[in-house]
Structure 1
Amino acid sequence: MKILHVLDHGLPLQSGYTFRTRAILKAQQARGWQVAAVTGTRQGVSATTAETIDGIDFHRTPTIGKAPPVLGELREIHALSRRVAEVAKVFRPDILHAHSPVLGALAALRVARAMRLPLVYEIRAFWEDAAVGNGTGREGSARYRATRMLETWAVRRADAVSVICEGLRGDLIERGIAPDKILVSPNGVDLAVFGTPLAYDQALARQIGVEDAEVIGFIGSFYDYEGIDDLIASMPALVAARPSARLLLVGGGPMEAALRAQAAASPVAGQIHFVGRVPHHEVDRYYSLVDILAYPRKRMRLTDLVTPLKPLEAMAQRRLVAASDVGGHRELIRDGITGTLFPPGDPAGIATALADLLAHRDGWEARRERGRSFVEAERNWAVNVGRYEPVYQKLTSAVALPRSWSRPPVSV
C-alpha cells in the first residue's frame, strides 16, 4: 500500500498538527505501508524541494507571493495541486490522503480526478471554526458561511472522509453527509515518544522556582480559546486555599503578551511561572514537574466539536488532568474517573476543582492508572492507525471499477 499525504505543513515545524501527522505516518510505516507527504505553501521557505525527516519523505511546495483574499487561496491551491501531481507521477500512490484545511482537499481533488486515484479527506477541525477560535474570523460572517459551503462541497466529492472525533462526525451528518462515508480516527498518542514518564526533574524545578510546590501546569499553544486567562484568574483563590500552589505555563502563541501582563498584575504574580516554548523532545521534563495538567478551554463551536491532543499526552505521562466541561473534552475525559471537569469560563469553579484535587491525594494513583490505561487501549496510534486499513482496501479495490465523480462513495 502506497499513500501520499497532502498537508498544510509538516516537520520540522512543531504544532499539534505536525505531531498528529508524524504519528500517523510513522504508524503506517510500522504496518509496512509506503508513505510520503507533500506540504503546502504555508510550510514556508525550505532549503530543498524534498527532504527526509524522522524517516519520512517530505516534498515541499514553493512559496508564493502575497495576494488579496480568495486570489491568494486560489494560488495556494494551484501551487499545491501542481506539486502533488509532480510527486504522484514519481511515487505512484494507491491513495491520496489529504488533511485539512480544505485548501489541501481541493488541491488533491484535482490530482485525484486527473490521475484516477481515490481520495480520503481528513478533517481535524473545520477551517471556519478554527478561524473564529484564532481570532481571525467571525462566526456567521460571509467568509465563514462561504468557507463552510466549500468544506461541505469538498466532503461530498471525496471518496471517504476521516474526522478526529464524534463532534465533527455529527456535524457532517447534520449537513447531509452519509454516516457510512465517515470514519472516526481519533487523536492518539505515540507511546514510543510519551510511553515512559521521566522521574521528577528536581534540578529543573529548582531552576524554574517550583521546587516543593503543588504544580498546576498548562503545556500547549496560547490561543484565546484555550482559556488560559481564566486559569490565571483562578490563581488567587487557589493559592488562598493551597498556599504552595504554583502555575507553570509552557508554550507560546498569540495571547502570550496579554497573558504575561495579566499574570504580572495578579496579586499572586510570584506563583505564576512562564517558561516559553521548549523543544518537543524536552517537553516530558516539564511534564515531570506537574501534578495536575489544566485545560480550561472556553465554550464555543470549535471546542465543543474538536478533541484536543494535549490531555491524552498528559494521561500517557500519568499526570492528573482537569479540564473545562466542553464537548471536545467530554469525548476524552470521564469526570471523576480519568479526570476532572469544571465549568468553562469560571475562574472560581476552576480554583475549587483544583483545590479539591490537591486535597485528595489518596485517589491520585488510581486515577493516573485509569487515564494511562485509556490511552493504551483506545488512543494509542499503533492501534488507531488500523482504522484506516479497511477504508484504504475498499477504495483501492474500487479502482478497477469504472470511475466517475458522481459514483456513490465507498462505505467505511
Structure 2
Amino acid sequence: MDKIVIVGGGECGARAAFALREMGFDGVITMIGAEPHFPYERPPLSKSGLAGPPRYVANPERYEEEKIDILVGVPAEAIDRQAKQVRLSDGRTLFYDKLLLATGARPRSLPGLSDRSSGRIRMLRSLGDAGAIRKALAPGKTLAVIGGGFIGLEIAATARNLGAEVILLERSPRVLSRGVPGEIAEVIAERHRQGGVKIMCGEQIASVVDGSDEAQILLANGATERADLVVVGIGAVPNVELAEAAGLLIDNGIAVDGTLRTSDPDIFAAGDCCSFPLSLYGNRRVRLEAWRNAQDQGTAAAANLLGRGEGFAGVPWFWSDQYELTLQIAGLFDDAATTVRRSLDERAFILFHLDGEGRLIAASGVGPGNAVARDIRLAEMLIAARRRLDPAALACSKTNLKKLLAA
C-alpha cells in the first residue's frame, strides 16, 4: 500500500494525516479540502473565532515538512470504488489504496429557507460565515439566534460580550434539550438572562423575512421579532452525499463498524460524518458532533488504515464555554436510572448518572472556568472502567474520585 487519500479538510482529516506519519507510514498522503483554507478548528468559530483570527490545526509549513499533499478549495465529486479513484471538481482523478472519508457535517436548514439566504440570514459552519456574522456584532445592533443548543448559546454569549442585543428563540420548552440535563441547562439559561439575552422557549417560527433594512421573524402566535441579523443554529446534517452516491451503507451518517471501516473494506470514515457502534453502551449506534471525537477517531482511523484492526471505544465528551461558565459532559446519560448531585462550591456542581446496576455511565457538570474539569476527567476514566459505584459516595464532596478509580 502506498497511496492514502483523505477526503475532508477539517480537524479529523488533518489528525489522521499526521497520525499516519507518526505511525511510520511513508507512502503518499493526499488531503482534499472543499474550503479554500488549510484545516482549522471549528469550535472557536462560535466563541473566540467570532471575535478574532482563526485557529489552524497546524501551520501550513508542517504539511510540507511531513510530506502531506493538501488540496484546498477543490471538492471531491465522486468515488469510483471499482477503479479506486476519487474525481475532483477540477477534473483531476486521484487513485487510492485506502480512502478515508472525513467529510464532516453542515448546518441544518430552517424549513423554507435555502442553505444560504441573503446577507441578513446566516448559518455558522465556516470561516466565511464567522466573518459575516462578526460584522453584525456591535453595540446598537440586534442579533436573533434561532436554536437554543450549544452553537446558538455560544453565539449569543459572544454577541453579548461584543455589545450586541440578542434574542434567542427555541421551539422546545427549554434550551439545551438534547444531551444536557435540565438542571444544568437552567444554570446556563439563567446566566444568559443575567447577561441580557432575551430567551424565548416554546416558540414556533412561521417564517423569516429578509428585508432591506432588517430581518423579521414571524412567529406562529402572530408576533414579530426584528433583528439586524438572524443566525440559524438548529443542528447539523452529516455530509454523506459522496458516500451514498458510491453505494456505501448510510445509517444516520456513513455507517462504519467498530474499527471505522465502511461497507467497503478499503474505505473508512471518521468524525461528524459517520455513525458507529459504541461498545461502552451495548454497541448502540451513535453519531457524535464533537471536537474530541474528531481528533480521537482521526487517530484511530489512521491506525486502521494501516491494518491494525483496533476497535474504537472512546467515552463521548462534550464541552461548551459561555461567558465565564464551562459546561462539560462525559458519557451518555439518557438511559440513567439514578442521578446524584455533587456540589463543588457555590457556583459549580456535577451530576453523576448511573444505570440500573449502579454502573457510572455519564457525568455532567457546570461551573466557572475549570471548576469541573478535573472531576469530569476522573469520571470519564471511571466510565471507561465500567465501575459500579455507591451513589452516596459520589454525592459526597469529600469522596476522592481518584481513590475510587484506583480501588
With structure 1 as the length reference, what TM-score do the two structures score? 0.31
